Amino acid sequence: MPPDLSLNEVEGLAQKAARGAGLAWGLADDAGRSARWLAAHGVDWASSLLALLDTSPPPSSCPLLHGCLLADSAAAHAQFTFAHIVAPVWLLPPLFLAAAQHGQAFALHIGGIDVGGMPPLAAAPLPALAALESAQVEARIGGAAPLLPFAFPLAQGRPRIAAALAARLNDYAARTYVPASAQSRARGAGSATRDDD
């Protein structure tokens, strides 16, 4: 049976895995928050995050970097066109969270799929977006497009991921651990020496 995780565990695992893959701390934090949002909405975050970490897309195609750009622009009116973004579903969480915080509207056109905009969408096609390996993205922030909090229905139950995916993410996360030394082993929990603190 695949392991089920709390949303806090999803965020922590994704953050540590991203950091273990060499992403900067701020970007790893963003990856963790985005993974939590995707998991809460029933999107398979683990396999797409692993694909990103395994392939290390160039900055021009990285959805984590471009998601930060969209989130940073959520307080203003802005338009962007990105020629080629891999795993473009990762653009949604930072933009949605930042736009909601600022009470801002946005509209995205991702590989022929519209999110937000007019007419209002009862549900965003998250499964279709999650299936896109790469796409051109057009983003519009501000203006007449409505921000609809009900556009992204929450999933039921705890997020589940396959054991093999969890193991691979934990392998990345383990790269952040400090190696044990003889001194730390001697002083650590379970050591042979007496603990009299």
Count of beta carbons in the 10 Å neighbourhood of residue 153:
12
Whether the predicted pLDDT of 37 surpasses 70: yes
13 compared with 1, residue with greater pLDDT: 13
DSSP string, the chain: ---B--HHHHHHHHHHHHHHTT--HHHHHHHHHHHHHHHHTT--HHHHHHHHHHH---GGG-HHHHHHHHHHTTTS-EEEEEEEEESGGGGHHHHHHHHHHHT--EEEEETTEEEESSSPPSS--HHHHHH-SEEEEEEEESSSPPP-GGGSPPPSS--B--HHHHHHHHHHHHTTSPPP-HHHHHHSTT-SS----
Q: What is the pTM of this model?
A: 0.84
Backbone angles phi, psi at 11, to 5 degrees: -60, -45
Where do the structural domains in the chain lie, given as residue ranges? 7-149+160-176
What mean pLDDT do residues 81-97 have? 93
Q: How far apart are CA 152 and CA 142, in angstroms?
A: 19
Please report, rounded to a whole number, the percentage of residues in the chain having pLDDT higher than 70. Answer: 83
Contact between 32 and 38 under an 8 Å Cβ cutoff? The reply is: no
User: What is residue 155's predicted lDDT score, i.e. its pLDDT?
Assistant: 79
pLDDT (tens digit per residue) in 135-172: 999 998 886 555 444 456 677 788 889 999 999 999 99
Whether the predicted pLDDT of 93 surpasses 80: yes
Whether the predicted pLDDT of 27 surpasses 60: yes
10 compared with 188, residue with greater pLDDT: 10
